[in-house]
Structure 1
């Protein structure tokens, strides 16, 4: 079974607004998309045959986070193989819990370890599902014929249940038909659809070049949100840190931070504590120094914690299109009870040394996986 469909692909345009990530990759006729699809299919042949169908189903998901999570697991699997490590088991069975980490690995250096993959999105499963329902509705709006006007979209809230697409688009078509052709359209009463806690509002503006009309939505407004990348990473790691209890081998969590503003420091802050300034009384008065709050996955109010989490492999915005330019880092837990022996992943390696980290520089993901510069464009 293949990941992608065997279909004609004449469309080389960019994705439609709110189009599911897999849907676009599956249908795109762009040469870059063809390279991405071929590489993913090649990687799949390296994945154990008895686990492929389940992975393919997740890769083909219409929910972007499920698609990205499945790709991240396939990516980590290939990264391990590229560094000559062996995957002994997918979802290995543990004697003390019905839960299973993603991989049991035998490193080329000879030791074994468990690896778990997780996305840091800051969203719960319920929020992900709600956003998918909203995206389905917005895609239907964007595909509605509006040759004389483009639509200005405003959204408040997300739906707690599926939106009635047929009823909404029927009302929308009637509203579009009744709009004036000239600038009076801007003064027309807006279209509004409220359902299951979501409010979708649309205003109309006349198109200056109707012959170019393709999509209905020309502008979008969503309420501002708070950027909390370290919190997102911390939350993802907290959920996985002790999920499998006491393990007989070192335990590494690979985290992919998907936030637009995700950066390397976010993982360090999430693990060791958020940065702060510490004021200390000295004989000469107050002195300040840089410090960390006791809110880290590995450092809490009572000191070191989550000692069973041996290390974290942190990355940012890994997806099928852009992983080649990304970097990663293996951040080792200074207080772990199960340290990871030498383990070559080709990424930056953060080794604890005298209260600080000594960093051994690695390569980009594209270099590690042997891809040409500029891939998938090249």
Structure 2
């Protein structure tokens, strides 16, 4: 905000949450800003806990001949018992000859490594054998059984983002200036569709099984910050939301977008805010404006740039 030419004042000086964090102004226009960070590590989901639990149980297994490369696809939707993990991965570790596995990998590549899988409807936990070399055995000492887990984590972060914004939007009644919630999301699943789903509702397909001649429609579920059941506006006191995608002090890069609440009762924001990449509802559609490169803006004028500091 300072780099955009706004005056910024800390208003929640006593950390009592009675007022938003900041007041930003430019000329005779002001807005309150409430800042928050959403990090899945702070509030792990049930799926994340299921993976952590499975990893902890697999680590109780042991092998002097192999390490286990763990690969996860999707998000594990249930708790895996120690018995089923031992049945799959314990048997894998003791049921193979390390010399044969090593020879197969040398001749045909890593794809030939023996593996075991536990599958769910939309997820898979896979363990692949990696032989321990003779040199590693000579070195001795403790050795981690697992390599990983690695893989792609499907799903989206819209629920966590929506709840994080709502938590801030609920804190205050009507204020003397528009309220903006600024959210820094530290989640690898965060993308533009996550932003849209969190604010305007998740996408869903609407069709009529009794009238197949009517084409299916792609619509949004009324569960967003700006929309509630019956497709009625809610939190109209919230003027907008600024999303930052994984901004960290040492690397001020990443996407930024200001979403103006199309139903907000007061959206007269300081004009410099509209220099940011932003989106506004126009005639029932979301009109996007590219705006300035915020990463370049912060980096190019950073007070620490070329200062000799590490």
- The alignment's TM-score, normalised by the length of structure 1, stands at 0.51
Q: CA deviation at 1:354?
A: 1.4
Q: Which of 86, 89, 113 in structure 1 is aligned with 2:31?
A: 113
Aligned residues: 236
Q: CA deviation at 1:305?
A: 0.6
Q: Is the 8 A contact 2:239 2:261 kept in 1?
A: yes
Q: Which of 23, 34, 38 in structure 2 is aligned with 1:104?
A: 23
Q: CA deviation at 1:297?
A: 0.9
Report the structure number with the largest CA radius of gyration.
2
Distance in 1 of aligned mates of 2:21 and 2:133: 51
Distance in 1 of aligned mates of 2:169 and 2:229: 17
Residue in 2 that maps onto 1:299? 227
Q: Is the 8 A contact 1:330 1:348 kept in 2?
A: yes
Answer yes or no: is 1:270 the counterpart of 2:189: no
Q: Is the 8 A contact 2:156 2:194 kept in 1?
A: no
Q: Output aligned runs, 1:254-269, within 5 Å.
A: 254-269=182-197
Q: Is the 8 A contact 1:311 1:340 kept in 2?
A: no
Q: Is the 8 A contact 2:65 2:98 kept in 1?
A: no
Q: Is the 8 A contact 1:327 1:363 kept in 2?
A: no
Q: Output aligned runs, 1:218-229, within 5 Å.
A: 219-221=147-149, 227-229=155-157
Q: Is the 8 A contact 2:162 2:198 kept in 1?
A: yes
Q: Which of 274, 280, 286 in structure 2 is aligned with 1:351?
A: 280
Distance in 1 of aligned mates of 2:299 and 2:227: 37
Residue in 2 that maps onto 1:91? 12
Q: Is the 8 A contact 1:298 1:304 kept in 2?
A: yes
Could you give the per-residue CA deviations for residues 72-102 of structure 1, whole angstroms, max 9, x where no partner exists?
Answer: xxxxxxxx111111112242579xx853422
Residue in 2 that maps onto 1:314? 243
Q: CA deviation at 1:364?
A: 2.7
Q: CA deviation at 1:288?
A: 3.1
Q: Output aligned runs, 1:5-44, within 5 Å.
A: none
Distance 1:236 1:286, change over 3 A: same
Answer yes or no: is 1:249 the counterpart of 2:177: yes
- The alignment's TM-score, normalised by the length of structure 2, stands at 0.60
Residue in 2 that maps onto 1:206? 132
| Superposition CA RMSD, Å | 4.5
Distance in 2 of aligned mates of 1:353 and 1:117: 27
